[in-house]
């Protein structure tokens, strides 16, 4: 198994890296060692002053005891993270067993430390000062006292390690959820953009087909324009945002194709390119609106129709308007594939900060997008942030 695989397995099991685990346990054990040494030293000094008996072990013996216990503590906590806490009927007895085993070896570690520093006669020296029923079974009493002392110490450390592991695991899961939400939003936006391509293509092919019989040269020219339009459509479909100038240029290509078919009925009014602000908008956000303006504006009557696209930037907001004339006898609705598509894209990309309103007004149909102004720096920031679906 490679190092990367081992690291991944470690994180999945305990949600802590080896370095984090070692650092946390060693810092905790250093604090325990320091507090135990200070407490034992104060008790040793006080008892020796009153009775002349040196009962508590010296600081160096205490330090060695904790050094000897550290590997067992690391193994116990590592095993505890591997066991985890579910199922409880199995995990809890195993966790208790690990704590009991660790606390049980604390006193033998103290005896070994005494043997290393003071030799084999240290216990005989202590027993010469000890008398009474409490000290008749001195090793058992000391082992029991050590066991009772180290059980809560082990529990506090286990709670610390487990809590930090759970917090780290929570952070990892939050990052994974955010990544999944971003991937889901990107896939959703891609699907919404792909809905435009067949719909637009079929309408434009019908437009060209209507010109083939009576204007072959015009139809050929329209095929060239359609190829340019489709190339821009594919390029725009690969990006979440495009410049306002590019978006209006795409709209101009589409409306020009429609105007060549309905030259006697369709009038197009677009803003001048040099007058447009340097801003960014969602790719192909206007295309469904201008397509609706042409299709529904020309339907239901044989009179002239004007399609107007206006842009207004004020107070950090950008307003895009698409307006077309309506037949007085044509019933209109405020829902449809194009409008639903635009609303969903605005909801995904702006999380409620952008709106689309559409409806009849003074004999015309007006579709109006209100969205925050996106400059180049804000566009990079907007692309970096995770998107949340509506």
How sure is the predictor about 131, in pLDDT bands with cuts at 50, 70 and 90?
Answer: very low
The position carrying tokens 């009493």 is 141
The pLDDT value recorded for residue 174 is: 86
pLDDT tens-digit series, residues 90-129: 889 999 999 999 999 998 898 888 888 776 555 554 444 4
Cα 85 from chain centre = 26
Say which CATH architecture domain 195-384 belongs to: 2-Layer Sandwich (3.30)
The pLDDT value recorded for residue 378 is: 58
Query: Any idea where the domains of the chain sit in the sequence?
Result: 3-179, 195-384
The pLDDT value recorded for residue 303 is: 81
Which segments of the chain does DSSP mark as H helices, in order?
3-14, 18-51, 59-83, 88-104, 106-118, 122-128, 138-194, 196-212, 216-237, 244-261, 287-298, 337-350, 376-384
The pLDDT value recorded for residue 339 is: 87
pLDDT tens-digit series, residues 298-317: 876 778 889 999 999 988 99
pLDDT tens-digit series, residues 311-345: 999 889 999 999 998 776 665 555 677 788 889 88
How sure is the predictor about 260, in pLDDT bands with cuts at 50, 70 and 90?
Answer: confident
pLDDT tens-digit series, residues 40-91: 888 767 665 665 555 567 888 889 999 999 999 999 999 998 888 888 888 8
Q: What is the pTM of this model?
A: 0.54
Higher local confidence (pLDDT), 216 or 136: 216
Q: Give φ, ψ of 69 to 5 degrees.
A: -80, -20
Cβ contact 378:318 at 8 Å: no
* Distance (Å, whole) CA 369 – CA 247: 14
């Amino acid at each position: 198994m490679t190092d990367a695989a081992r690291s991944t397995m470690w994180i999945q099991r305990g949600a802590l890296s080896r370095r984090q685990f070692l650092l946390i346990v060693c810092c905790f054990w250093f604090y325990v060692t320091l507090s135990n040494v200070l407490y034992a030293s104060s008790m040793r000094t006080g008892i020796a002053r009153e009775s002349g008996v040196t009962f508590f072990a010296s600081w160096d013996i205490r330090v060695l005891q904790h050094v000897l216990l550290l590997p067992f503590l690391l193994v116990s906590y590592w095993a505890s993270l591997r066991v985890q806490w579910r199922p409880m009927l199995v995990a809890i007895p195993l966790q208790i067993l690990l704590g009991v085993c660790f606390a049980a070896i604390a006193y033998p570690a103290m005896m070994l430390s005494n043997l290393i520093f003071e030799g084999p006669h240290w216990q005989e020296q202590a027993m010469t000062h000890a008398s009474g029923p409490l000290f008749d079974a001195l090793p058992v009493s000391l082992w029991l006292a050590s066991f009772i002392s180290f059980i809560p110490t082990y529990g506090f450390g286990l709670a610390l390690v487990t809590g930090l592991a759970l917090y780290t695991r929570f952070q990892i899961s939050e990052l994974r959820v955010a990544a999944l939400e971003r991937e889901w939003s990107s896939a959703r936006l891609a699907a919404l953009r792909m809905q435009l391509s067949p719909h637009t293509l079929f309408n434009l092919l019908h437009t060209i087909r209507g010109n083939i019989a009576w204007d072959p040269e015009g139809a050929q020219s329209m095929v060239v324009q359609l190829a340019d339009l489709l190339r821009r459509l594919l390029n725009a479909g690969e990006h979440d945002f495009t410049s306002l100038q590019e978006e209006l240029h795409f709209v101009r290509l589409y409306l020009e194709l429609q105007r060549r078919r309905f030259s006697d009925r369709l009038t197009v009014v677009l803003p001048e390119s040099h007058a447009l602000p340097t801003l960014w908008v969602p790719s192909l956000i206007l295309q469904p609106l201008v397509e609706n303006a042409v299709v529904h504006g020309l339907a239901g009557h044989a009179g002239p129709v004007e399609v107007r696209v206006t842009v207004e930037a004020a107070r950090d907001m950008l307003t895009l308007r698409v307006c077309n004339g309506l037949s007085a006898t044509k019933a209109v609705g405020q829902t449809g594939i194009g409008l639903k598509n635009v609303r969903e894209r605005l909801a995904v990309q702006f999380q409620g900060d952008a709106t689309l309103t559409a409806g009849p007004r003074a004999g015309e149909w007006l579709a109006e997008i209100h969205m925050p102004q996106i400059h180049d720096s804000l566009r990079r920031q907007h692309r970096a942030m995770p998107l949340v679906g509506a």
